[in-house]
C-alpha cells in the first residue's frame, strides 16, 4: 500500500565539526522534498539536533526541535499528549531557519538522539511513511556516554520496527554502525569521521533518499505498543532540567585542556571545599625519587581535605588506630619491603569494614609489598608484574580492552595517564575493574562493602611523575571524594 504522507525527521549531530553539514542540509533540502512532492506525497519535516556535555553528576543535553530547544522541549515531547506542531512542519524554510540558528557545541550521544526521534508524534502508521535520517561524523558509540548506549541497539531496532520507521544513517563505520544496520528497511552510508561530512555529495545522497522513500510501501498492520525513552530521557534529571538553557549551553562551551579533558572544578566529582575538615590519613611508605606527596596533597586540599601523613615508616598500631578514629579514609602507598605488622593489618581491616574509605597504592614489581599483604587480607587479591606503561588511556573499549569504565571516580576525565611502570590486579568477586591499562590488564580496581569503599591501584608513580599529564589531579580529587561518600 502506498503512503499518502511522509514524516521525515533529520537527526543531526550539532557538535563543532558538523557546521559544514548544517550548510549542506539547508542548501539541498529541496533535492529531498521536490521528488516526493512530484510523487504527490504531503511531506512534514522534523528535526532533532543534538549536543551533550559531561558533568560530574552525568551528561546534560541540548536538543533542538522545530519548536525550540532544551529541557522544556523534552518535557513537552514526553507529556501525555505532545503537539505535533512543536516537532513537525510542512515548510522547509522553517527547517532551514532552525539549522541556520544552531549553535555548534558540545559532544555527541547519537543513539540517544535516535531514540528521541523514534518517539516523536508521527502521523498515523496506516497513511504515513515514517522516516528518520541520521547525520554524524563520529562513530555511533562515541560521545559522552561512551559505548554504554550500544547495549540498547537491539531494543532500538525493535522500536524502529514496531513504529514502522524507515532508517537512513550517514556515519563512520564502527561496530555500532553494523549492529544497527541489521535493521530491515535501513540504508547506511559510510562517511569519513571528524570532517563535518565535507566529502558527502548531499545533492546525490538526498535525491537517492527521496527515491527510496517514494518507491517504498507501507508495512501492513497496526502499530503495536512500543517502549518510550529507552535511555530514560523522559526523566527530568537525565536532561539537566534543573538547569536553565543558558547554563546547559555554558557547559557545552566549556574548554578542554591540552590533554582533551574538560577544564574547571565544575567537572570534578565534588565541589571545591565540599569536604572541609575531613581527614585523609596517609601511610607514605615509599619516598624515593623525591616523592614527597606535595602535589596530591595540594590537590586534595582544594576539596577541603586535611592530610595526616607518615613518611617512610608507619606509626605504631595503637597510634594508627587512634588517628583513624577521626579520618574519613586511609591511603597506603607501598614500598618494595614490608613495613606493616599483622597488628597494623588488623587495624586497617577493621577501619575499612567499619564503613570507611581505603586506597591501596602499589606499583611495578616489587613495589607492592604491603599492598599485597592488605589486598590479600581484605580482598583475596594481589598485584603482580612489571609493565612499561607511560601511556594515556581513554574511555573503555571492548575492542581494545583498554581504558576507563563508567564510574564516578572517572567523572570529567576522558583521558588519563596510567603511570610510568605499572602492575596488574587480580580481579575476583570482591573487586571490579576501574581502569584497564595499555597492556589490557586491570591497573585500578574498586570494591565496596556496605558503606565501605576501596580502590586498589598498580600505578603510584602518577602521584609524582608527569603529574601535569592527562587527568591526574582530577582523578586524585575524584578518588578521595568517592571514598568519602560522594
Q: What is the CATH number of the domain that holds 40?
A: 3.40.50.410
pLDDT of residue 1: 63
Residue 171 lies in a domain: yes
347-388: pLDDT as tens digits: 999 999 999 999 999 999 999 999 999 999 999 999 999 998
pLDDT of residue 241: 52
Let me know whether 92 and 131 are in one domain. yes
pLDDT of residue 56: 58
**Number of domains, the chain:** 2
Residue 367 lies in a domain: yes
Name the one residue in this structure whose C-alpha cell is 520496527.
Answer: 161
Rounded CA-CA distance 427/424 in Å is 9
pLDDT of residue 142: 84
Rounded (to 5) percent helix, strand, coil in the chain: 35, 25, 40
pLDDT of residue 327: 97
Residue 117 lies in a domain: yes
Which CATH number goes with the domain that contains 402? Answer: 3.40.50.880
71-123: pLDDT as tens digits: 889 989 999 999 999 999 999 999 999 999 998 888 889 999 999 999 999 99
Choose one of 188, 217, 252: the last residue of a domain. 252
Let me know whether 141 and 244 are in one domain. yes
Confidence of residue 237 (pLDDT cuts 50, 70, 90): very low
Name the one residue in this structure whose C-alpha cell is 565501605.
Answer: 452
Residue 398 lies in a domain: yes
> Would you say 9 and 18 are in contact if contact means Cβ atoms under 8 Å apart?
no
Query: What is the separation of C-alpha 463 from the centre of its chain, rounded to a whole number of angstroms?
Result: 25
Residue ranges making up the domain that contains 28: 5-252
Per-position DSSP letters for 263-304, written without gaps between them: PSGGGSSS-TTTTTT-EEEEEE---GGG--SHHHHHHHHHTT
pLDDT of residue 308: 98
Average pLDDT over residues 165-182: 91
Let me know whether 248 and 270 are in one domain. no
Exposed / middle / buried, residue 317 (Cβ in 10 Å: 0-12, 13-18, 19+): middle
Question: Is it the case that residue 220 has pLDDT exceeding 90?
Answer: no
Task: Report pTM.
Answer: 0.62
Let me know whether 224 and 278 are in one domain. no
Let me know whether 216 and 345 are in one domain. no
User: Higher-confidence residue: 104 or 333?
Assistant: 333
Q: For residue 397, give the 3-state DSSP assignment.
A: strand
Cell numbers for 166, please give them. 524507515
400-434: pLDDT as tens digits: 889 999 899 998 898 999 999 999 999 999 999 99
On the CB side of 101, CA atoms within 13 Å amount to 14
Rounded CA-CA distance 105/399 in Å is 28
Rounded CA-CA distance 375/381 in Å is 5
Nearest to 27 by CA among 181, 293, 206, 259: 206
Choose one of 252, 277, 295: the last residue of a domain. 252
Read off the DSSP letter of residue 218: P
Let me know whether 242 and 271 are in one domain. no
Let me know whether 217 and 273 are in one domain. no
Read off the DSSP letter of residue 78: T
Let me know whether 25 and 46 are in one domain. yes
Let me know whether 225 and 306 are in one domain. no
Question: Is it the case that residue 248 has pLDDT exceeding 90?
Answer: no
Let me know whether 184 and 322 are in one domain. no
Rounded CA-CA distance 229/150 in Å is 15
User: Higher-confidence residue: 313 or 54?
Assistant: 313
CB-based contacts of 43, cutoff 8 Å, min separation 6: 5, 6, 8, 33, 36, 37, 90
> Would you say 381 and 427 are in contact if contact means Cβ atoms under 8 Å apart?
yes
Choose one of 223, 252, 281: the last residue of a domain. 252
282-313: pLDDT as tens digits: 999 999 999 999 999 999 999 999 999 999 99
pLDDT of residue 238: 46
User: Higher-confidence residue: 280 or 1?
Assistant: 280
pLDDT averaged over the chain? 91
Let me know whether 150 and 27 are in one domain. yes
Residue 258 lies in a domain: no
Let me know whether 221 and 353 are in one domain. no
Residue 260 lies in a domain: no
Residue 406 lies in a domain: yes
Cell numbers for 42, please give them. 504531503
Question: Is it the case that residue 164 has pLDDT exceeding 60?
Answer: yes
Per-position DSSP letters for 324-372, written without gaps between them: HTTEEEEEEE--SS----HHHHHHHHHHHHTT-EEEEE--STTTTHHHH
Rounded CA-CA distance 232/229 in Å is 5
Residue 257 lies in a domain: no
180-218: pLDDT as tens digits: 988 877 899 999 887 889 889 999 999 999 999 998 888
Q: For residue 49, give the 3-state DSSP assignment.
A: strand
Rounded CA-CA distance 206/254 in Å is 34
Say which range, 8-17, 248-257, 314-323, 362-371, has the weakest mean pLDDT.
248-257
Amino acid at each position: 500500500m502506498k503512503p499518502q504522507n511522509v514524516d521525515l525527521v533529520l537527526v543531526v549531530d550539532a557538535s563543532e565539526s558538523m557546521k559544514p553539514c548544517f550548510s549542506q542540509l539547508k542548501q539541498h533540502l529541496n533535492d529531498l522534498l521536490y521528488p516526493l512532492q512530484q510523487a504527490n506525497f504531503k511531506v512534514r519535516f522534523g528535526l532533532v539536533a543534538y549536543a551533550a556535555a559531561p558533568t560530574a553528576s552525568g551528561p546534560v543535553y541540548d536538543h533542538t526541535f522545530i519548536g525550540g530547544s532544551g529541557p522544556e522541549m523534552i518535557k513537552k515531547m514526553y507529556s501525555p499528549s505532545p503537539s505535533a506542531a512543536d516537532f513537525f512542519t510542512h515548510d522547509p524554510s522553517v527547517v532551514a531557519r532552525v539549522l541556520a540558528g544552531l549553535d555548534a557545541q558540545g559532544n555527541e550521544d547519537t543513539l540517544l538522539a535516535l531514540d528521541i526521534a523514534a518517539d516523536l508524534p508521527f502521523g498515523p502508521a496506516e497513511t504515513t511513511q515514517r522516516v528518520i535520517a541520521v547525520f554524524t561524523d563520529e562513530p555511533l558509540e562515541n560521545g559522552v556516554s561512551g559505548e554504554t548506549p550500544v547495549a540498547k541497539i537491539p531494543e532500538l531496532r525493535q522500536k524502529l520496527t514496531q513504529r514502522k520507521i524507515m532508517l537512513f544513517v550517514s556515519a563512520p563505520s564502527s561496530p555500532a554502525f553494523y549492529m544497527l544496520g541489521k535493521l530491515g528497511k535501513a540504508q547506511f552510508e559510510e562517511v569519513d569521521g571528524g570532517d563535518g561530512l565535507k566529502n558527502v555529495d548531499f545533492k546525490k545522497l538526498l535525491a537517492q533518499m527521496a527515491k527510496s522513500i517514494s518507491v517504498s510501501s507501507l508495512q501492513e498492520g497496526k502499530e503495536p505498543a512500543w517502549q518510550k525513552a529507552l535511555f530514560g530521557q523522559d526523566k527530568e534529571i537525565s536532561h539537566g532540567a534543573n538547569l536553565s538553557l543558558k547554563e546547559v549551553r555554558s557547559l557545552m562551551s566549556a574548554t578542554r585542556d591540552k590533554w582533551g579533558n574538560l577544564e574547571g572544578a565544575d567537572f570534578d566529582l565534588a565541589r571545591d571545599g565540599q569536604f572541609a575538615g575531613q581527614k585523609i590519613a596517609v601511610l607514605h611508605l615509599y619516598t624515593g625519587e623525591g616523592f614527597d606527596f606535595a602535589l596530591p596533597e595540594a590537590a586534595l586540599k582544594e576539596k577541603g581535605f586535611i592530610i595526616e601523613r607518615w613518611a617512610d615508616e608507619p606509626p605504631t598500631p595503637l597510634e594508627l588506630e587512634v588517628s583513624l578514629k577521626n579520618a574519613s579514609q586511609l591511603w597506603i602507598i607501598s614500598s618494595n619491603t614490608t613495613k606493616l605488622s599483622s597488628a597494623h593489618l588488623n587495624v586497617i581491616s577493621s577501619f575499612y569494614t567499619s564503613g570507611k574509605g581505603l586506597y591501596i597504592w602499589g606499583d611495578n614489581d616489587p613495589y607492592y609489598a604491603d599492598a599485597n599483604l592488605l589486598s590479600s587480607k581484605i580482598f583475596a587479591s594481589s598485584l603482580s608484574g612489571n609493565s612499561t606503561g607511560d601511556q594515556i588511556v581513554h574511555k573503555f573499549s571492548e575492542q581494545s580492552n583498554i581504558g576507563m569504565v563508567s564510574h564516578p571516580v572517572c567523572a570529567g576525565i576522558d583521558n588519563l595517564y596510567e603511570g610510568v611502570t605499572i602492575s596488574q590486579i587480580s580481579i575476583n568477586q570482591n573487586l571490579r575493574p576501574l581502569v584497564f591499562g595499555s597492556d589490557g590488564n586491570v591497573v585500578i580496581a574498586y570494591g565496596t562493602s556496605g558503606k565501605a569503599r576501596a580502590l586498589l591501584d598498580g600505578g603510584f608513580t602518577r602521584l609524582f611523575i608527569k603529574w601535569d599529564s592527562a587527568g591526574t589531579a582530577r582523578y586524585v580529587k575524584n578518588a578521595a571524594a568517592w571514598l568519602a561518600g560522594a
